[in-house]
Chains A and B, each alone.
Chain A
Amino acid sequence: GAVVSQHPSRVICKSGTSVKIECRSLDFQATTMFWYRQFPKQSLMLMATSNEGSKATYEQGVEKDKFLINHASLTLSTLTVTSAHPEDSSFYICSARVPGGDLIGELFFGEGSRLTVL
Protein backbone atom coordinates (compact mmCIF):
# COMPACT_ATOMS: atom_id res chain seq x y z
CA GLY A 1 0.00 0.00 0.00
CA ALA A 2 0.86 3.66 -0.08
CA VAL A 3 2.74 5.31 2.78
CA VAL A 4 1.74 8.42 4.69
CA SER A 5 4.12 9.70 7.33
CA GLN A 6 3.16 12.01 10.15
CA HIS A 7 5.50 13.90 12.45
CA PRO A 8 5.88 14.35 15.37
CA SER A 9 4.20 11.33 16.91
CA ARG A 10 4.08 12.98 20.31
CA VAL A 11 4.37 16.58 21.36
CA ILE A 12 3.97 18.30 24.70
CA CYS A 13 3.73 22.07 24.80
CA LYS A 14 2.84 24.88 27.13
CA SER A 15 -0.46 26.66 26.93
CA GLY A 16 -0.32 29.59 24.53
CA THR A 17 2.32 28.19 22.23
CA SER A 18 1.80 26.96 18.66
CA VAL A 19 2.48 23.47 17.42
CA LYS A 20 3.01 22.30 13.86
CA ILE A 21 2.25 18.77 12.68
CA GLU A 22 3.45 17.52 9.30
CA CYS A 23 1.82 14.97 7.04
CA ARG A 24 3.74 13.59 4.06
CA SER A 25 2.79 11.18 1.32
CA LEU A 26 6.02 9.29 0.72
CA ASP A 27 5.40 7.35 -2.48
CA PHE A 28 2.58 9.16 -4.21
CA GLN A 29 1.38 12.66 -4.88
CA ALA A 30 -1.67 13.66 -2.90
CA THR A 31 -3.68 16.59 -4.19
CA THR A 32 -6.02 16.13 -1.27
CA MET A 33 -5.25 15.36 2.35
CA PHE A 34 -7.55 15.17 5.32
CA TRP A 35 -7.03 16.12 8.95
CA TYR A 36 -8.92 14.35 11.71
CA ARG A 37 -9.15 14.65 15.44
CA GLN A 38 -9.86 11.68 17.65
CA PHE A 39 -10.95 11.75 21.28
CA PRO A 40 -10.34 8.75 23.53
CA LYS A 41 -12.43 5.74 22.55
CA GLN A 42 -14.24 7.71 19.89
CA SER A 43 -14.16 7.62 16.14
CA LEU A 44 -12.47 10.12 13.89
CA MET A 45 -13.85 13.60 13.48
CA LEU A 46 -12.99 15.27 10.19
CA MET A 47 -11.57 18.73 10.82
CA ALA A 48 -10.68 19.89 7.33
CA THR A 49 -9.86 18.90 3.80
CA SER A 50 -6.54 20.17 2.58
CA ASN A 51 -6.18 20.92 -1.13
CA GLU A 52 -2.80 21.48 -2.72
CA GLY A 53 -2.35 25.05 -3.84
CA SER A 54 -5.62 26.34 -2.42
CA LYS A 55 -7.31 27.07 0.86
CA ALA A 56 -8.42 24.25 3.09
CA THR A 57 -12.09 23.45 3.52
CA TYR A 58 -13.03 23.36 7.18
CA GLU A 59 -15.85 21.38 8.73
CA GLN A 60 -18.55 23.19 10.64
CA GLY A 61 -17.43 24.14 14.12
CA VAL A 62 -13.70 23.98 13.39
CA GLU A 63 -11.96 27.31 13.86
CA LYS A 64 -9.89 28.26 10.82
CA ASP A 65 -7.70 30.66 12.76
CA LYS A 66 -7.08 28.10 15.44
CA PHE A 67 -6.15 25.22 13.19
CA LEU A 68 -4.10 26.53 10.29
CA ILE A 69 -3.68 24.15 7.39
CA ASN A 70 -1.16 24.58 4.62
CA HIS A 71 -0.82 22.23 1.64
CA ALA A 72 2.13 23.79 -0.13
CA SER A 73 3.19 20.79 -2.20
CA LEU A 74 1.76 17.55 -3.56
CA THR A 75 3.43 15.57 -0.79
CA LEU A 76 3.16 17.77 2.28
CA SER A 77 0.35 19.21 4.35
CA THR A 78 0.81 20.85 7.73
CA LEU A 79 -1.57 21.50 10.59
CA THR A 80 -0.63 24.26 13.03
CA VAL A 81 -2.49 24.48 16.30
CA THR A 82 -2.15 28.14 17.25
CA SER A 83 -2.18 29.41 20.81
CA ALA A 84 -2.82 25.92 22.09
CA HIS A 85 -4.89 25.34 25.21
CA PRO A 86 -5.38 22.20 27.30
CA GLU A 87 -8.70 21.50 25.57
CA ASP A 88 -6.78 21.14 22.29
CA SER A 89 -5.04 18.08 23.70
CA SER A 90 -6.02 15.23 21.44
CA PHE A 91 -4.88 12.71 18.88
CA TYR A 92 -4.57 14.27 15.43
CA ILE A 93 -4.41 12.06 12.34
CA CYS A 94 -3.89 12.93 8.72
CA SER A 95 -4.78 10.91 5.67
CA ALA A 96 -4.30 11.09 1.94
CA ARG A 97 -6.21 9.56 -0.89
CA VAL A 98 -4.37 7.87 -3.73
CA PRO A 99 -5.33 9.72 -6.92
CA GLY A 100 -4.61 7.00 -9.45
CA GLY A 101 -3.22 3.58 -10.26
CA ASP A 102 -4.18 0.29 -8.63
CA LEU A 103 -4.94 1.92 -5.29
CA ILE A 104 -7.10 4.70 -6.71
CA GLY A 105 -9.52 6.13 -4.20
CA GLU A 106 -8.01 4.27 -1.26
CA LEU A 107 -7.37 6.26 1.88
CA PHE A 108 -4.09 5.90 3.79
CA PHE A 109 -3.37 7.28 7.19
CA GLY A 110 -0.41 8.68 9.04
CA GLU A 111 0.61 7.27 12.39
CA GLY A 112 -1.08 10.07 14.29
CA SER A 113 0.23 12.81 16.58
CA ARG A 114 -0.58 12.90 20.27
CA LEU A 115 -0.73 16.52 21.42
CA THR A 116 -0.66 17.34 25.12
CA VAL A 117 -1.03 20.96 26.13
CA LEU A 118 0.00 21.72 29.70
Chain B
Amino acid sequence: KQEVTQIPAALSVPEGENLVLNCSFTDSAIYNLQWFRQDPGKGLTSLLLIQSSQREQTSGRLNASLDKSSGRSTLYIAASQPGDSATYLCAVRDNYGQNFVFGPGTRLSVLP
Protein backbone atom coordinates (compact mmCIF):
# COMPACT_ATOMS: atom_id res chain seq x y z
CA LYS B 1 0.00 0.00 0.00
CA GLN B 2 1.36 3.37 -1.06
CA GLU B 3 2.23 5.75 1.75
CA VAL B 4 3.15 9.38 1.29
CA THR B 5 4.96 11.53 3.83
CA GLN B 6 5.96 15.17 3.79
CA ILE B 7 8.72 16.92 5.66
CA PRO B 8 8.66 19.35 7.33
CA ALA B 9 5.14 19.44 8.74
CA ALA B 10 5.41 23.20 9.15
CA LEU B 11 7.85 25.83 7.99
CA SER B 12 8.18 29.53 8.69
CA VAL B 13 10.56 31.67 6.63
CA PRO B 14 11.17 35.38 6.03
CA GLU B 15 10.06 36.87 2.76
CA GLY B 16 12.51 36.49 -0.10
CA GLU B 17 13.99 33.18 0.96
CA ASN B 18 14.24 30.20 -1.34
CA LEU B 19 12.82 27.04 0.18
CA VAL B 20 12.37 23.33 -0.46
CA LEU B 21 9.47 21.13 0.52
CA ASN B 22 9.93 17.37 0.54
CA CYS B 23 7.62 14.53 -0.37
CA SER B 24 8.44 10.83 -0.03
CA PHE B 25 6.52 7.79 -1.21
CA THR B 26 7.03 4.11 -0.48
CA ASP B 27 6.13 2.47 -3.80
CA SER B 28 8.14 3.73 -6.76
CA ALA B 29 5.71 2.28 -9.32
CA ILE B 30 3.91 5.55 -9.77
CA TYR B 31 1.93 6.90 -12.70
CA ASN B 32 2.41 10.55 -11.79
CA LEU B 33 2.82 12.96 -8.88
CA GLN B 34 1.04 16.23 -8.34
CA TRP B 35 1.68 19.18 -6.04
CA PHE B 36 -1.16 21.30 -4.68
CA ARG B 37 -1.62 24.27 -2.42
CA GLN B 38 -4.55 24.69 -0.09
CA ASP B 39 -5.56 27.92 1.56
CA PRO B 40 -7.51 27.68 4.86
CA GLY B 41 -11.09 26.59 4.30
CA LYS B 42 -10.61 26.27 0.56
CA GLY B 43 -10.23 23.54 -2.01
CA LEU B 44 -6.94 22.51 -3.55
CA THR B 45 -5.21 24.37 -6.34
CA SER B 46 -3.07 22.34 -8.71
CA LEU B 47 0.50 23.64 -8.94
CA LEU B 48 2.49 21.11 -10.92
CA LEU B 49 1.97 17.63 -12.33
CA ILE B 50 4.96 15.41 -13.04
CA GLN B 51 4.47 12.31 -15.15
CA SER B 52 6.47 9.23 -14.18
CA SER B 53 8.72 9.67 -17.23
CA GLN B 54 9.65 13.24 -16.27
CA ARG B 55 12.26 14.45 -13.82
CA GLU B 56 11.02 17.96 -13.22
CA GLN B 57 8.41 20.57 -14.02
CA THR B 58 8.58 24.33 -13.68
CA SER B 59 5.95 27.01 -13.37
CA GLY B 60 7.04 30.55 -12.55
CA ARG B 61 8.84 30.54 -9.20
CA LEU B 62 8.00 26.88 -8.61
CA ASN B 63 10.07 23.89 -9.60
CA ALA B 64 9.16 20.32 -8.78
CA SER B 65 11.52 17.41 -9.21
CA LEU B 66 10.88 13.69 -9.19
CA ASP B 67 13.24 10.83 -8.38
CA LYS B 68 11.16 7.69 -8.71
CA SER B 69 13.90 5.26 -7.77
CA SER B 70 14.42 6.90 -4.39
CA GLY B 71 10.73 7.63 -3.90
CA ARG B 72 11.17 11.36 -3.54
CA SER B 73 9.90 14.63 -4.92
CA THR B 74 10.80 18.17 -3.96
CA LEU B 75 8.99 21.44 -4.51
CA TYR B 76 11.32 24.39 -4.76
CA ILE B 77 9.89 27.86 -4.22
CA ALA B 78 12.12 30.74 -5.23
CA ALA B 79 11.99 34.21 -3.68
CA SER B 80 9.12 33.38 -1.37
CA GLN B 81 6.34 35.91 -0.79
CA PRO B 82 3.71 36.26 1.96
CA GLY B 83 1.11 35.20 -0.60
CA ASP B 84 2.80 31.82 -0.78
CA SER B 85 1.63 31.09 2.76
CA ALA B 86 -0.58 28.00 2.55
CA THR B 87 -0.51 24.26 3.06
CA TYR B 88 1.28 22.37 0.31
CA LEU B 89 0.29 18.80 -0.42
CA CYS B 90 1.81 16.25 -2.70
CA ALA B 91 -0.23 13.39 -4.12
CA VAL B 92 0.89 10.24 -5.87
CA ARG B 93 -1.04 8.16 -8.33
CA ASP B 94 0.29 4.66 -8.65
CA ASN B 95 0.07 2.27 -11.57
CA TYR B 96 -2.53 0.09 -9.93
CA GLY B 97 -5.45 2.38 -9.30
CA GLN B 98 -7.25 5.51 -10.32
CA ASN B 99 -7.00 7.59 -7.22
CA PHE B 100 -4.25 9.63 -5.68
CA VAL B 101 -2.70 9.09 -2.26
CA PHE B 102 -2.08 12.35 -0.45
CA GLY B 103 0.65 13.34 1.93
CA PRO B 104 -0.24 15.13 5.18
CA GLY B 105 0.98 18.48 3.85
CA THR B 106 3.51 21.11 4.82
CA ARG B 107 2.11 24.28 6.35
CA LEU B 108 4.17 27.20 5.05
CA SER B 109 4.23 30.68 6.54
CA VAL B 110 6.16 33.41 4.76
CA LEU B 111 6.68 36.37 7.02
CA PRO B 112 6.77 39.90 5.58
Contact = CB atoms under 8 A, between A and B. Distances in A.
Contacts of A114: 41
Interface SS of A by simple majority: strand
In the complex, which range does the number of interface residues on chain B fall in?
A: 20 to 34
B71 to A, nearest CB: 18
B43 A107 contact: no
Given A105-B31, A105-B32, A105-B51, A43 B103 contact: yes
Contacts of A75: none
Contacts of A43: 89, 102-105
A93 interface: yes
A42 B104 contact: yes
B45 interface: yes
Contacts of A88: none
Contacts of A105: 31-32, 49, 51, 93
Interface in A86-108: 91, 93, 95, 97, 103, 105-108
A46 interface: yes
B49 A49 contact: no
A49 B99 contact: yes
B43 A106 contact: no
A25 interface: no
B76 interface: no
* Residue from B31, B32, B41, B45 whose CB has the most chain A CB atoms within 10 Å: B41
Interface in A65-118: 91, 93, 95, 97, 103, 105-112, 114
A112 B42 CA distance: 6
Nearest to A108: B46
Interface of B: 31-32, 34, 36, 41-46, 49, 51, 89, 91, 93, 98-100, 102-105
22 contacts: A1-B46, A6-B43, A32-B98, A34-B99, A43-B102, A43-B103, A91-B41, A93-B43, A95-B44, A97-B98, A105-B32, A105-B93, A106-B34, A106-B46, A106-B49, A108-B46, A109-B36, A109-B43, A109-B46, A110-B43, A111-B42, A112-B42
